[in-house]
A and B are shown apart, each in its own frame.
Chain A
């Protein structure tokens, strides 16, 4: 995204050019040093301990809220996730039914539909599922099209 050195040069003398180059070089050098340090054994161990600490706190927090919700007779996070899973299964079942219905519709419609122009020719001979007019699937790569013209 940054400007290229060539494009900067082409604009002529620029008093801030040195600072920009310094920024590029500083960024590269600091990135390298800091990223390398972040992967040291000591930092990994520290990050691991901190992460475990935060995860335990998060878990305790959720457990506390779950107990509170149960006390006041409201669904907990686990209940909502369970409900979500049931809804997902229902969605999938509906999607399967929808697909089945579409297939039946298509099979029934193929015999009646007498408009071959609505779909482009295809090697497999199947009609495209959507009714939107489609372009012909006959495009050739420019190199081959030129050869064929010759």
Chain B
């Protein structure tokens, strides 16, 4: 027997609903102001290695069997890694662990003033190889898959390019910049005629996180205000408010950019575009993307305002692997890896791609 059609609410019902929402906005808005920020990064983990501010996590398995090849997540230098482990049900790490992957993650920590001398060489030729060694030692396996997000993807790809014969089995990059001429506003703001990177680094050491947060905000100058209006509109919805708070916390929780690394990033990558032109040298070693021969996947976001599609699209084409692919998914820089869209779109594709290459 068919169900009777569901009637749309009439005017009286709608008015009642709106009044109810208005009351809830008031009550929940008050609770919102009084409550603490939500907890993040809750997937159980052990710290298996620490070095300076760096910590290498190993997430505890949630299945009886795991895939043979461990997965190492590499985060960006300027963002906290908990975007990949936001909250139960909204955590890429939790998802991968539940799907039988053995997951590790590099947390770069918050650079201290004395870390201002760190350069790309330190990350690509020392920290990542060191962490890879620790993962191999801890897992007892001869190879590892690396998944890098944003600048973490760039560091991972540089590592792969510099260690052609290394223990890397698969490489996945999320929204990873490659052609810095496609960086849009970021590129234009750092015009060498007016942007004195030497003065910034020589004076401040590390680049303060406020500068980075303001830069990201300037890319969408009205979005903060619009987000506040949407928050008020949806204050009656616990799910919306919880999600808003988690993302807002992360977006404002950026970390300083190590000074020398920022100088190198600006001069060699933003201005000279050496990574794209295959002219980048790190520690006397040419870091050529064509030397990456392992299976490669690049996931990009259609509406990414931080790493625009134009800056990311050519990476897969230039990688020297035979097994390589790139996917463009709906969403932005953050919603690609976290949030309802990521759960529906990206995570299952990542799981399938890794699983087929992890035995």
Q: Measuring CB to CB, which residues of chain A are less than 8 angstroms from any residue of chain B? A: 1-3, 12-16, 20, 23-24, 26-27, 30-31, 34-35, 38-39, 44-45, 47-49, 51-52, 55, 58-59, 77, 80-82, 84-85, 87-88, 91-92, 95, 119, 122-130, 132, 134-144
Contact = CB atoms under 8 A, between A and B. Distances in A.
B359 interface: yes
A23 B234 CA distance: 14
B139 A128 contact: yes
A130 B234 CA distance: 46
A14 B14 CA distance: 8
Interface of B: 8-9, 14, 18, 46, 48, 50-52, 58, 60-61, 63-68, 100, 102, 112-115, 137-142, 185, 188-189, 191, 193-196, 199-200, 203-205, 218-223, 226, 229-230, 233-234, 240, 243-244, 247, 335, 339, 352, 355-356, 358-359
Given A23-B230, A88-B52, 14 more contacts: A1-B335, A16-B233, A23-B229, A30-B221, A35-B221, A38-B185, A44-B195, A55-B199, A77-B113, A80-B113, A81-B114, A122-B140, A136-B65, A141-B355
Given A1-B339, A39-B189, A124-B142, A51 B196 contact: yes
A23 B244 contact: no
A1 B114 CA distance: 38
20 contacts: A15-B18, A31-B222, A35-B220, A51-B200, A55-B196, A82-B114, A84-B114, A88-B114, A88-B115, A92-B51, A123-B68, A123-B142, A126-B140, A127-B140, A128-B138, A128-B139, A130-B48, A130-B58, A139-B359, A143-B356
A47 B114 contact: no
B222 A34 contact: yes
Interface of A is mostly: helix
Contacts of A35: 185, 218-221
Contacts of A59: 203
B356 A141 contact: yes
B63 A139 contact: yes
A31 B230 CA distance: 16
A9 to B, nearest CB: 11
Nearest to B138: A129
Nearest to B219: A35
Nearest to A46: B194
